[in-house]
Amino acid sequence: MKILSNINISKKNIFFLLFGSSLAFFGYKTLKIYLLRQKYRHIPGPKTKGLLGFYLGNVIEIKNLPKNKIFPDLVVEWIKEHGHVIKFQIVDKMVVFTINPETIRDVFIAHNFSKHPHVYSIFGFPLGIRFLGNGLVTDLDNERWRYRRNLFNPSFHKQALMTFLHEFNNKSDALMTKLRSKAEKEEEVFILDEANNMTMDVIASVGFSMEIDSINYDNNLKGYVFKALEGFNKILFNPFLRFSISGWSYIKNYKRIIKNLRDLGRFQILKRIESIKDGSYVSDDLITLMLRNNQNEEFEIEDLIDDFVSLFIAGQETTANLIAQVVLEVGQKPEILKKIKKEIEEEIGFKTDLKYEDLNKLKYLNCVVKETLRKWSIVPFLSRKADVALNILGFDIPKGSNIQVSSYVSGNCEEFFKNPKEFDPDRFLNEKNETKNYTYFPFSLGARNCLGQNFAQIEAKVCLTKFFQNFDFELNSEQSFYPAQHSTISPAGRTKCKLSIKSL
């Protein structure tokens, strides 16, 4: 009996300990959120609703968005209502958001503020799992990033990009062959899916001399990258995933996928190191460049794997999104599509081996790409940490604040772009272009702009030119024509269409 009594006392002690700890944690969070709200109360922004709003902030509004809107659309509305600088609350974090061009210049260029750890550590280490790690996209140390960026810069200069054109042409031709087969069978296609396959093959080839043929076959790398992105998006937009039994199972599987992807990178890098050491022939690709530029330096293999994974993610998804977005937009505008085809026919005809000079002739297609990037952008938001206190339009912004901007939001503001919902490539014609500085930055800006922006645009233009040379198409009218927000912005309906082969 005495033993049973002691057990009951122990259970009670454990219960009170757990209850007391939970109560203390709840009290700490409450005080933290209260002080946070007081700290930013002088900055305008959307109100939170009730007790739940006190703790969750504006998360409820974001979660309840209709299917035809993404979070940046909601921010456009907040900006219209509250002005060029606002604040909004995400649980126990406060975000200061602005579209003010002068502030954007100061944050990204004059001050060159560092990336905010609350945001980019999620990309690097979601749930503590090393995903992009300290790669070029996610590294929070500006000095270390600058050194690593300088190693890669030569591979993305114009001269180097010219050497990639051969693969851009080859992989685009392979995709056109597959699409012709689909057209002959009168099968509908999802342009986003097919473009993802093509861009995967391009980055595998020019980056790591891997011939994987994702266009025609499934393969491990394709599966790992797609599932890693899918899992990351799920983790990013479902903060309660880790608290459910089904979530535990999903996270366990996600960790396995990330491990497999990183192990594949490790295998490729170690194999190339051995080839360089023993003097074997090695391709002059990005992985060789990484290793040769690090020959006289000590480096961590995990950092090189970070770059391997980052290049696949950044070099594949964004370009595929752009291709699908262009097809979706011009498919709704017959007059614009007619202009594109006329320009291609007059400037390069049915030439298949496209050169840089050929792409330069396609002035109108270039405007179409720019207008697509204006309306859709690439990533939803860019985030920087205020390394010093600053003043934005009369509002004092505390040091350490999370300052966010968005090319999507700026690009869809009436005061910067007239009739922003209208797809109008003519606004980017040289004689008409009235774009104000720091209102259009789909590939970021400042020192940490996108390394591969020219790579992505040239690859997309090669693929799009060949697509318009080869096909007429009709969009599926029942699909969603709105954007979907993941880690990047893509067409929610994946650009579903039916192709027909153009007669020569």
Q: What are the two backbone dihedrals, phi and then psi, of residue 383, each rounded to the nearest 5 degrees?
A: -130, 135
b/e 454-470 (16+ beta carbons within 10 angstroms → b):
ebbbbbbbbbbbbbbbb
How far is CA 194 from each of CA 131, 169, 279, rounded to the nearest angstrom? 25, 15, 38
Q: Which amino acid is at 298?
A: E
Placement of tokens 């460049």 in the chain = 289
Give the span between the Cα atoms of 301 and 314, in whole angstroms: 20
End-to-end CA separation in angstroms for the chain: 95
> Is residue 185 a contact partner of residue 215, using CB atoms and an 8 Å limit?
no
Give the span between the Cα atoms of 399 and 9, in whole angstroms: 49
Placement of tokens 């002691």 in the chain = 6
**Three-state SS sequence of 170-182:** HHHHHHHHHHHHH
User: Annotated binding residue at 413?
Assistant: no
Nearest to 208 by CA among 285, 282, 275: 285
State the sign of the Cα–Cα–Cα–Cα dihedral 233, 237, 240, 245: negative
> Is residue 437 a contact partner of residue 105, using CB atoms and an 8 Å limit?
yes
Can you read off the two tokens belonging to residue 275? Answer: 């080839």
Nearest to 172 by CA among 476, 501, 458: 458
Annotated binding site for heme: 450
Annotated binding site: 450
